[in-house]
Amino acid sequence: MIDVVMPQMGESIVEGMLTKWLKQPGEHVERDEPLFEISTDKVDTEIPSPSSGTLAEVVVQEGQTVAINAVVGRIQDGMGAAAAPNASAPARSAAPAPAPPATAPPPAAAPATAAAAPPPQPAAAPADETTGPLSPLVRKMARENNIDLSKVRGTGAGGRITKHDLEAYMAAPSAPQAAPAPPRAAAAPPSPPPPAARPAEVATIPQPVEVPPPAREISREPVQMPGAAPALRVEPMSIMRQRIAEHMVFSKRTSAHVTTVHKVDMTKIAKLRDKMKREFQAQYGFGLTFLPFVMRAATAALRQYPIVNASIDGTNIIYHRDINVGMAVALENGLIVPVIRNADEKNIVGLQRHIVDLAARARSRQLKPEEVQGGTFSITNFGSFGSLFATPVINQPQVAILGVGSVVKEPVVVDDAIAIRSTCYLALTFDHRLIDGALGDQFTGKVKSVLEGWGEEV
């Protein structure tokens, strides 16, 4: 028997919702054939079968959210109807089996229904019946904005409501965006009529009865006392934000972070880009940015200094044969690092194509599990937000990350004369446990020399 587990879709993801089974118990499935669909705060995707055989048991039902690496089903070898209900899961197998239409099964089905009821939030359960499985993010948004999900049109797989559907619904003129506000306004009337005896004291020192009573959402929304400044807004971190925080703290606690910054003359590349970008857009259908040039130069440096492409395992150094470059992509409520595999084998066009494709699918949550795993070195382009340079945090278990600042024109001394040049800062953060300062500077200097002496055509 082979366990089918919930995959991890990036370092900050710790759980996912199983939205749909593509095979039913007793059906044969081939290795790598889509088996079920999942939804997380970052990715909606199909998960392939880990082995050929028969789906013997469904452990996690559609619509349930489970932790990564949790067993969601089991596959056994053979073509037969191996899904004859296992004694260990009678309640689960009773739910999907449509066979028993008689009157006897309802009492047996009741415990299964009761057992399945606790995981979903009570307020969202009725919506599931008409809108399909909902992701944790959608449930949270609907709950916080008091949205009736039965009125939202879903555009996801099988009509499932996505985050973008909720945003479009709230942006519509007829959407009840102000729904959460009336309860607060309704609670306010008791505060205006103060005691007739001492109105001045009431204005400065609110009576306890005038303070809004604690509610279920008191920790999520601001509370303002009459005559006082606005109170602080307290909101719990999302699960994704908690995991990002843990990953960053773990990295700072694990690696000895050191950052070196080099200023690079990008004039030659800037002129080449200006000359080619219209033709490039017309020929390939996407724009030409500075990032593929930096990535190309970084892979050349990684080939010359393979220790920067390594990782640490206890007291051992693991040298990776392939150069798989992770590319940090900012999302609305977090970040993810999809990986360009064998980046050193791709030219500028190939790198730019992968950059555009991965960034677009990361923001639409369409990345596959293997596309966020196996990175050996990372690049973060904070210059796209106007930053000149920063000190990025290493993406564990890697030992270095290269930050790219904004390319700007400025006066520079060239051969004892003032000239206008396009420049940017490269910030390499490296793990000082493995990489010394001299080696870090040599690596960044190699990237700088490739960029400044660029000789390739696009």
209 — pLDDT class (breaks 50, 70, 90):
very low
What is the chain's length?
Answer: 458
In the residue annotation, 257 being an active-site residue is answered as: no
- At residue 169, the pLDDT reads 83
Q: What is the pLDDT of residues 213-242, one digit of tens each?
A: 444 444 445 555 566 566 789 988 877 778
Compare 399 and 202 and report the one with higher pLDDT: 399
In the residue annotation, 432 being an active-site residue is answered as: yes
Query: What distance separates the 2 farthest-apart alpha carbons in the chain?
Result: 95
* pLDDT score of 282 more than 50: yes
> In terms of DSSP bridges, do strands 34-39 and 44-48 run parallel, antiparallel, or are they unpaired?
antiparallel
Cα separation, 53 vs 41, whole angstroms: 31
* pLDDT score of 447 more than 70: yes
Q: What is the pLDDT of residues 148-190, one digit of tens each?
A: 888 887 776 567 787 777 777 887 765 554 444 444 444 444 4
Tell me which residue of 56, 257, 18 sits closest to 132, measured CA to CA.
18
- At residue 231, the pLDDT reads 77
- Residue pair 135/40 in contact by the 8 Å Cβ criterion: yes
Cα separation, 34 vs 50, whole angstroms: 10
Q: What is the pLDDT of residues 299-328, one digit of tens each?
A: 999 999 999 999 999 999 999 999 999 999
Domains of the chain plus CATH, in order, are 2-116 (2.40.50.100), 241-452 (3.30.559.10)
Q: What is the pLDDT of residues 64-114, one digit of tens each?
A: 888 888 999 999 876 544 444 443 443 443 344 444 444 444 444 444 443
State the virtual CA torsion across 224, 225, 228, 234 in degrees, nearest 10. -40
Tally of CB atoms within 10 A around 1:
11
Task: Name the catalytic one among 165, 416, 436, 441.
Answer: 436
- Residue pair 240/384 in contact by the 8 Å Cβ criterion: no
Instruction: Measure the CA angle with vertex 44, ends 38 and 46; round to 5°.
Output: 55
Compare 39 and 354 and report the one with higher pLDDT: 354
Task: Name the catalytic one among 3, 344, 432, 441.
Answer: 432
Compare 186 and 279 and report the one with higher pLDDT: 279
The top-scoring range by mean pLDDT among 137-141, 206-210, 345-349 is: 345-349
